[in-house]
Amino acid sequence: MDVLGVDACGKQGWVGIRVTDGAYAGSLVDVRLDALIRRAAGVEVIAVDMPLGLVERGWRAADLGARALLGVRRSSVFLVAPRQAWRESGYEAAGDRCHELTGQRLSRQAWALAPKLLEARECWLADERIHEVHPEISFRALAGGVPLEYAKKTWRGQNARRALLAAAGLVVPDELGEADRVPADDVLDAAAAAWSAHRIALGISDRIPEAPELDAEGRVVEIRY
């Protein structure tokens, strides 16, 4: 059983970690998500660390639920604006539309996701193998339901994340091939996404929220783990 976990990695585009029967099976890096997916031929499930489903008004229940679970790591979950805000051409207009639909403005950090969010959303709408994940939720599950104490860019945080993956059978090697030049936190996030993708493929994954919301296109708005 082959699956793929994907994380955005700045100007390099996207990094993918392929997993076969729960074990590491290689890495891919591509500037375009659709190209990376084409190169990962034959995978059954693709888990992407990026908001995919968008609601029409208010904040997504998936983000509110994830924040409630993450405690000290709650700031890693951005509140994702309603669909119409992402159709605006700039931050100020998007912030105004978000305020109209939620009562609050969109953060600049969230708006910075816009190019990759829209790119990933287009892939998601075209491919039912794709699911949204959030690595900190995955790592929380790997740690027995306890949010990780140290942030993902810290030395202790990265060691803890790599150890949790290894304990679950997903050993990330020292040499990755294509992903050797990708920042370590992005590699670990993609690996956590792959761990969740494997759970989705097995039919044993969990989801946030339990009661589904629907995107305007009819897809479920949720975070899987």
Q: Which CATH architecture best describes the domain 2-53+126-207?
A: 2-Layer Sandwich (3.30)
- Tell me what pLDDT residue 34 has: 98
Cβ proximity of 152 and 189 under 8 Å: yes
How do residues 147-173 score in pLDDT, each as one tens digit? Answer: 999 999 999 999 999 999 999 999 999
> How far apart are the C-alpha atoms of 78 and 70, rounded to whole Å?
12
For the cut 90, the answer to whether the pLDDT of residue 14 exceeds it is: yes
Instruction: Give me the mean pLDDT over the 10-23 stretch.
Output: 97
For the cut 90, the answer to whether the pLDDT of residue 212 exceeds it is: no
- Tell me what pLDDT residue 46 has: 99
Q: What is the pTM of this model?
A: 0.96
Cβ proximity of 2 and 200 under 8 Å: no
166: tokens are: 């290894």
How do residues 78-108 score in pLDDT, each as one tens digit? Answer: 999 999 999 999 999 999 999 999 999 999 9
Report, in this order, helix, strand and coil percent for the chain, each rounded to 5.
Answer: 45, 20, 35
Spell out the domain ranges in the chain. 2-53+126-207
- Which of 71, 88, 83, 84 is CA-nearest to residue 151? 71
How do residues 108-155 score in pLDDT, each as one tens digit? Answer: 989 999 999 999 999 999 999 999 999 999 999 999 999 999 999 999
- Looking at the chain, the whole-number percentage of residues with pLDDT higher than 90 is 98
How far is the CA of 155 from the CAs of 59, 143, 151, 162, in angstroms? 33, 17, 9, 11
163: tokens are: 């150890």
How do residues 39-54 score in pLDDT, each as one tens digit? Answer: 999 999 999 999 999 9
How do residues 32-42 score in pLDDT, each as one tens digit? Answer: 999 999 999 99
